[in-house]
A and B are shown apart, each in its own frame.
Chain A
Amino acid sequence: MAENRHKSLGLSDDEVLDMFRTMLLARKIDERMWLLNRAGKIPFVISCQGQEAAQVGASYALDRQKDYALPYYRDMGVVLAFGMTAKDLMLSGFAKAEDPNSGGRQMPGHFGQKKNRIVTGSSPVTTQVPHAVGIALAGKMENKDFVSFVTFGEGSSNQGDFHEGANFAGVHKLPVIFMVENNKYAISVPVSKQLACEKVSDRAIGYGMPGHTVDGNDPLAVYEVVKEAAERGRSGKGPTLIEAVSYRLTPHSSDDDDRTYRERGEVDEAKKKDSILTFAQYLREQGVLTEDKEEELNKELDQIVNEATDYAENAVYAEAESALNFVYEE
């Protein structure tokens, strides 16, 4: 039998099973959204597929009762872990009034839900990074011990806001965890044309913080480094940069055709390392995921996704004139 890695990280069987459940739920919602898009029912999808392990592994290492999450558009795994529901996500996919992210104002993937400390995001990439730093600064000023967790793509790590935000957090030793989800592409542009250094984590030294590169297909590896970063942040030692390397298994979005810029063979290779498969395999080897449990889990999650889809499809849109609301405080 393979080595039990989760016990030594302090994770119980139930906890790792719950991690897997969240990863699988994210995958199933995402797959359903593609079907709905291809059926002409929702105009747009942007995927988490291939990044669930990093998203969920990281989130479970945080205190999801008090830490702040500033996710980017692929982070379905993060927002599910922080308390958003399948129904919430489907409402956003269908742009319905009840969507807690934006009431149908923003495209799917633009997460935000104050009650779960998921901070509202926009489309221009990396703007959330200084916000995460500001939230950490506010926490420090008020002597709180939460950390602020922000994610973005490796292409987006070229934006000034990453560098300005990271430096600010480094100078003021703020409890921020910067996690780059390196999926090897920024739309069509490969990482070799994005970075002048070898790894995104090499950039950490410039901002006075540790930088780690981890296998983003391994939720336990990501859990471990994020846990350490969170402890570092909470104890006043400052920020950490983490690069979780995986692969984008889908086209960039429902409007992209990735056959125009990457080989099928490369995608097929990456699919072998898909964390939904490899983590399930690990859990089977550990006896945590039995055949019965797996069947039960699949059934349960399919039902959740079906119900969320039906609910969201039948929900109402916001009134047209409500477009005028909430420009300023009312």
Chain B
Amino acid sequence: MAVISYIQAVTQALKEEMQRDEKVFVLGEDVGKRGGVFRATDGLYEEFGEARVLDTPLAESAIAGVGIGAAMYGLRPVAEMQFADFIMPAVNQIISEAAKTRYRSNNDWSVPMTIRAPYGGGVHGALYHSQSVEAVFANQPGLKIVMPSTPYDVKGLLKASIRDNDPVLFFEHKRAYRLIKGEVPDEDYTLPIGKADIKREGTDITVITYGLCVHFALQAAEKLAEEGIDAHILDLRTVYPLDKEAIIEAAAKTGKVLLVTEDNKEGGIISEVSAIISENCLFDLDAPVKRLAGPDIPSMPYAPTMEKYFMMNPDKVEKAMRDLAEF
């Protein structure tokens, strides 16, 4: 087992899938010679050449749409959106086309494509380099949305996404890229899309979250353990469609549930998680389901005061966990 960073897990997964299957190729802005603005495609251009590591014109709807065409033909494109914020020009292609191709053709055509995009804040990225955009896509049957938290999950889930025969949005937390390191097996492996993962076993309160916030919750849990509060932490990993069974089980286990996201509060992934719990766990709950999220303002401002105010962090999570434990 080697210890690698979150972004190295991305690069390794891409490289190994491209070595394994000639039909896999990468396209996006600056993914070629430059190796991506975050360097997620570092070294791929040198190894696989410009035809399979394709620098596209700066036009996101074409990146998605051309990828869809190539996927319908039978290739396995991995498109990169330079920032999740800039996926917006491609929304029509993703929602009207990729998500509905199999359904509308009655299973005649399909789109085995992965779209990767760095999301998330805490990097002085301001309004348009910090957003979480998963909620935009999380009521679109036909799409799958993966948001991993660790290098192990990144590598296993990105490989699974590339091998999947339906379109997958793969959102990578850009602050996690170099901050988060972890062990990854040397041999080839995949992880199941659609399955949540228990990141910490506990008995007093349950935290359900995803992405970088998983680490905030884990850090908070260690501190709270010293006070005798034992937290159970479920990492959703796939935020659409949700792993309902795992959510119900985790909620019922402690009866006190805190849901955490760095996205805006209203209408997000955790709102749906809350609905699943309220439909299924009435008699298991010992406290109201609590949500901890960003404020309902358009996006994360630039100035450090306001950015910090918006951004999730371990202290905010710790306080919310303690409050719930004391309920």
Contact = CB atoms under 8 A, between A and B. Distances in A.
Interface in A93-109: 99-103, 105-106
Given A100-B108, A133-B65, A138 B75 contact: yes
Contact of B70 (A103, A122, A135): A135
Contact of B66 (A101, A119, A165): A165
A168 B62 contact: yes
B97 A122 contact: yes
Interface residues of B, number: 43
A137 B69 contact: yes
Contacts of B102: 326-329
Given A134-B72, A141-B25, A141-B75, A329 B66 contact: no
A165 B75 CA distance: 18
B65 A112 contact: no
A194 interface: no
A137 to B, nearest CB: 6
A145 to B, nearest CB: 14
A83 interface: no
B97 A114 contact: no
Contacts of B105: 101-102, 112, 114, 120
Contacts of A135: 69-70, 72-73
A127 B93 CA distance: 7
Interface in A130-151: 130-139, 141, 148
Interface stretch (B32-40, B53-61, B176-184, B284-292): B53-61
Nearest to B51: A141
Given A129-B65, A160-B89, A161-B62, A327 B141 contact: yes
A65 interface: no
A113 interface: yes
Most buried by A among B25, B73, B100, B108: B73
B219 interface: no
Contacts of B142: 327-328
Most buried by B among A101, A113, A130: A130
Contacts of B56: 168
A44 to B, nearest CB: 16
B208 interface: no
A129 B65 CA distance: 8
B165 A165 contact: no
Nearest to A166: B62
Nearest to B106: A103
B240 to A, nearest CB: 12
Interface residues on A, range: 35 or more
B203 interface: no
B239 interface: no
Nearest to A68: B73
B96 A122 contact: yes
A119 B74 CA distance: 12
Contact of B73 (A124, A127, A139, A160): A139
Contacts of A330: 107
Nearest to B108: A114
B71 interface: yes
B104 A102 contact: yes
Contacts of A310: none
15 contacts: A103-B106, A105-B106, A112-B109, A113-B108, A131-B97, A134-B72, A138-B75, A160-B61, A165-B62, A165-B65, A168-B57, A168-B66, A325-B107, A327-B102, A329-B102
Nearest to B142: A327
A160 B92 CA distance: 11
A329 B62 CA distance: 25
A164 B97 contact: no
Contacts of B109: 112, 114, 119-120
Contacts of A122: 96-97, 100, 104
Contacts of B107: 325-326, 330
B150 interface: no
Contacts of B65: 127, 129-131, 133-134, 161, 164-165
Contact of A138 (B57, B69, B89, B103): B69
Most buried by B among A113, A131, A148, A325: A131
A130 B63 CA distance: 8
B66 A134 contact: yes
A122 B97 CA distance: 7
B42 interface: no
B198 to A, nearest CB: 25
Interface string B58-101: 01011011111111111101000000000001001100110011
Contacts of A110: 104
B74 A120 contact: no
A167 interface: yes
Nearest to B27: A137
A171 interface: yes
A100 to B, nearest CB: 7
A130 B68 contact: yes
A273 to B, nearest CB: 35
